[in-house]
Structure 1
Amino acid sequence: PIFPEEKVRSSTWTEPLYGSGAGSGFDHVLLQGNHEGVKALDPPQSNELKQLNVYWDEDEVFPESRLASQVEINDKMDGMVVYVPDRIVDDIP
């Protein structure tokens, strides 16, 4: 499922912003939480959190969980450890 980012335009109008934000939850990574580069990142948007919770079980999502496609790499991340969890089984008929 794709959950587009939404922009609240007024109390009665919320516009879906297709093409913005995370497109799926398959690119889940765990970032080294106390690393200086991670602290410099913007927090995850609601769309990213929705994708993580839809694609991954509750016991597989942690405070350090992010979608790789939503992480903007910065020079402070040099030497940071990134854990890539086992892939979601998506080829079962």
Structure 2
Amino acid sequence: MTSDASFSRGEYRFNTEYRRDRYVVERADALKPAGAGALAVMRYDDSGRTAAVACDAGGRTFVAGFPFESIPDGVQRDRLMRDVLRFLFSDK
């Protein structure tokens, strides 16, 4: 999946195969931004559907259609968490 908007451009991969030491994503959810201030910030490469939504409307939220812990690459996890925290806690 890829990210856009204020999030770092790049690709993120999540685990889709069973492994004893990894959380597996059998089916990731596609989301739909709704309401003022909501926007798609990540999309699935294979379908183009929304993988994550951020909203800035009186308070900030971030929701992903896949579990964060299913991203096996530490660099990708760090980058995504940094982007989410920057969005949630930055001044407007």
Bigger CA radius of gyration = 1
Instruction: Name the one with the larger helix percent.
Output: 1
Question: What is the TM-score with the length of structure 2 in the denominator?
Answer: 0.29
Question: What is the TM-score with the length of structure 1 in the denominator?
Answer: 0.29
Q: Which of the pair has the greater relative contact order for Cα pairs under 8 Å at 6+ separation? A: 1
